[in-house]
Amino acid sequence: MATFRAALTQLSIMNIDGVRNNYDLAELPNALHSAQLPALLVMPIELERERLFRRREDSLQTAAFSGGAKTIYHSATHLLLVAPSDAGLGLRSHLPRLVDLIDGYTAAISADVTLGDTLLTPARVSVEPGLHRYGERDFYGCAFRHSWLLEA
C-alpha cells in the first residue's frame, strides 16, 4: 500500500527539462529568489484564498466497498514558478518559457501517470497557468492540480 507521502515524494523527483529546482515538503523555502527559478514546489495544501470557493473534486473523499478495496482520493498541487511578476518586460517576456515548461511537465507526467505505481489509477491533472503567490511575492507560473486515488 502506497502512502500519500510516498506519492508526494514521487511527484517531487519528477524531472522536467528546464526546471532548476524541485522542492519536496521538507525542502520548501520560505521565499524564492530569481536565481532559484524556475522551480517546482510540492504543495499538499491550498495557499490561494479564492481556491476555497471553487468546487473541490474528490478531495479527501473516501469510498469503501463491502469486501472490496478501501480507497481514498487525495489532492495536491505541484506549483511551477517561472519568474516574479515584477521581473522582465511583464507577462509577454515570460510566456514562451512558461508554455515550454508546461509542455515539458505534460510529457513527464504522461511517461509516469501512476507516479512509480504509488497511485491506483492514473493521476488526473488540471493545468492552471497564471499569477501565483508564494511567500510575499507573485510569480508567473502554473498550478498543476492533481487528484489521486490511493488505497486506504
Q: Quick one: pLDDT at residue 117?
A: 95
What is the pTM (predicted TM-score) of this model? 0.86
Averaged pLDDT in 10-residue chunks for the chain of 152 residues: 92 96 95 96 74 48 61 94 89 92 98 96 96 94 96 85
CA–CA dist 13, 22 (Å, integer): 7
First to last CA, the chain: 8
Cis peptide before 84 (omega within 30 of 0): no
Domains and CATH numbers, the chain: 4-151 (3.30.70)
Report the pLDDT value the prediction gives residue 19, as an integer from 0 to 100: 98
Look-up: residue for cell 492533481?
146
18 backbone φψ class: left, alpha, beta (φ>0; ψ -120 to 50):
left
Would you state the cell numbers that stand for residue 102, as one nine-digit string? Answer: 508546461
- Tell me, what's the pLDDT at 52? 43
3-state DSSP helix/strand/coil % of the chain, to nearest 5? 25, 35, 40
Whole-number Cα distances in Å, 98 to 24, 129, 144? 21, 8, 13
List, for residues 70-108, the tens digit of each pLDDT value.
889 999 999 999 999 998 787 888 999 999 999 999 999
